[in-house]
Amino acid sequence: MSHSSNTPSPVGSIDQHAPLHLGHSRLRSELVNSVYSQSSYSNSPDSTAASSVEDIRIHRSLPTGVYVPTVCFFEETTEDLDVDAIARHAVRLAEAGVAGITTQGSNGEAVHLTHQERKIVTSVTRRALNEAGFASMPIIVGCGAQSTRETIELCKDAAISGGDFALVLPPSYYKPSLKPNSVIEFFEDVATASPIPVLIYNYPGAVSGTDLDSDAIIKLAGHPNIVGCKLTCGNTGKLNRIAAATQAATPSDHGSGFMCMGGSADFTLQMLVGGGSGVICGLANIVPKACVEIFNVYQSGNLAKTQKLQGIVARGDWAAIAGGIVGTKSALQTYFGYGGLARKPLPRPTIEDTKRYAEGFEEVVALEKSL
């Protein structure tokens, strides 16, 4: 199975005279591109927004490794975007050795952002990386929405903002009304119309329990513009099956180039042993060096040390899972002097909360600061 990060051909009208042997797939692709070629949203940016990014056509690949779904930062009193903190944080992560950045992930409070704010966050991140000497670092952009149309629109916004890849959740709001093949068709339609390659985001906890099985993801992996998956379901067997079927990229073998990725830091060693490509993990917002160290030590062949590191990181990841975005931001503020608050209605941490979060991350932060 061969994968390429080349984007689809420009959209256009359906060829009414296409020969029948082209089949359903070709005709469906042409129909999708025809239907979704026109935007219903305004893309007129402000002075900080996406089209100011000058290098959106640069080709960036997805190397194996640790990716960070970045936290989004806000001004404390107004809840406006804190673009300076967003930029500084992206550079800190890049300097720690991560493989790439993910904006508008679950940790990025995408559901609290407008379309325009999403574009600003990605644009600011791209510019900060470029100016700090990390112009080759890829940005994956969360583009999940409930309709096929809006999801494609978010993919287009991601592209003009400097994003290189789209990370897409399955729709879930009308789950009881969806037919068995609806989610498959959703991903096929989005991937066909998206100007950037797509990764499937399997996170049952965020989408009313929708859990794509390995058969569905393997089938979708055959689409030329679907280039990977993020498995926040934590199912090791599923990862094994997908990685084997797609000949996924690993640290030692590029394989087909398909990226079969874990969705949390406590899954890193298991992912590596199982033939996976990397992790997209929220804990790396706090301790990027520690998360990268697991990767590096495993590649050096020291399994015993890798297991020890994974234990420390897994305990820290449990604190991140238990505390959520509020706990992650609180720990950033305690240990690194920035982080701030989440947008309402997420709660403000109490003094007791802050102390508990700090204690939960103490061990893994000590590891981070030793590296």
Task: Report which of 38, 32, 64 is spatially closest to residue 191, judged by C-alpha positions.
Answer: 32
Task: Give 5's contacts (C-beta < 8 A, 6+ positions apart).
Answer: 59, 60, 61, 62, 164, 165, 197, 227, 257
Strand pairing report for 165-168 and 139-142: parallel
230 flagged as catalytic:
yes
Q: Which of 230, 238, 289, 329 is catalytic?
A: 230
Catalytic center residues: 230
